[in-house]
Amino acid sequence: MAVVSASTSGAEEVRDDTALPGEKPGGGSPLAEFTTLRLGGPATGLVVATSENELVDAVRAADGGGHRLLVLGGGSNLVIADEGFDGHAVRIATKGREYDNLGDGFVQLTAEAGEDWDDVVADSVAQGLGGLECLSGIPGLAGATPVQNVGAYGVEVAELLVSVDLLDRRTGRVRTVQAADLGLRYRTSVLKHSDEAVVLRARFRLHDSGLSAPIRYAELARTLGVEPGERVDAAKAREVVLGLRRGKGMVLDPADHDTWSAGSFFTNPILPEAELPAALERIAEKVGPDQRIPQYPAEGGGKLSAAWLIERAGFAKGHQGPGGRVALSGKHTLALTNRGGATTADLLELAREVRDGVREAFGVTLVPEPVMVDCAV
């Protein structure tokens, strides 16, 4: 989760050294340590909020004082400029999980925004609950999952989310918003590009059968040895998903630079139905008629594979950027990685090279998935 904003209170934006409640001066402390890319310069100051009151007080103080504010979650989907952030940062570190029996075989899980997401998934599976297992191993915090509408291996948060509690920064009040009102779509929501709310907690509806959600993703079904649509033991599904993610460098490991990334850097492009045939024809001309072009149904059109396009445009796994300090992961072409000693400028240069190469080859423009803080591709 990352929310970047000026004040939403209507006050004139101020840049000064006025501290927020509980803030530690951050002038020489890079925000890189709070991102999985390990990139980014410092903020003016930093608050680590371990309770809802601390979080709400810090955000209200920033808004009331007209200060720029960066709300940090797990930093797994975040790119911060080398110059840092000219404003205050608040890191969400709230903890807590609750389970409520809804009857009819369903249980509601409530997770505080600062809970580690994979810990939430692991605990739900250990409790004999199914639904979240395919989302195992995704780095970040629970509060970020509705913002991004996190998804993997055929499951999206939108299918399981009941509601979120938000701090409405326009009013300074806490309110509950139902999942249906969050505009949840492929890897996005109304929260992703808005600075008007901060997620405090999220609620998910899970089933108590101990079985997974129906296995939809072909690779996962093959590895499990089942047909698409079948259900398996949720713990087994989690184990296999974690194995698949590790094989792609998508489970955090400080010793493995292939995991020093923001996950998938580009979203899979969704082309409108009217544009899809011409795009497929153009791609086929480049790769040859015998190549199967991966495509999947999507709302209003078709979804293509960004990884497939990147590889066919000539970017192999391990392709290096400036000075070898950044590179495509050696395990997965969608991950742009910090090989050690990189800068955000290095990363953005590699991202532009890949984006422009795919556009030149196929006429398809890839869109970055991470939130960009004072920088752009």
Catalytic residues: 187, 264, 369
Q: Residues 141, 116: contact at Cβ < 8 Å? A: yes
b/e sequence 16-26, b meaning 16+ C-beta within 10 Å: eeeebebbeeb
Q: Give the separation between CA 147 and CA 339, rounded to whole angstroms.
A: 28
The pair of structure tokens assigned to 330 is 């050696």
Can you list the pairs that 335-338 forms with residues at least 24 positions away whose Cβ atoms lie under 8 Å? 335/248, 335/249, 335/250, 335/258, 335/261, 335/262, 335/263, 335/264, 335/265, 336/261, 336/262, 336/265, 337/249, 337/257, 337/258, 337/259, 337/260, 337/261, 338/37, 338/38, 338/39, 338/257, 338/260, 338/261
Q: How many CB atoms lie within 10 A of CB 241?
A: 27
Q: Name the nearest CA neighbour of 92 among 103, 76, 80, 81.
A: 76
Q: Residues 137, 242: contact at Cβ < 8 Å? A: yes
The distance of Cα 198 from the centroid of its chain, to the nearest Å, equals: 15
Q: Give the separation between CA 212 and CA 17, rounded to whole angstroms.
A: 50
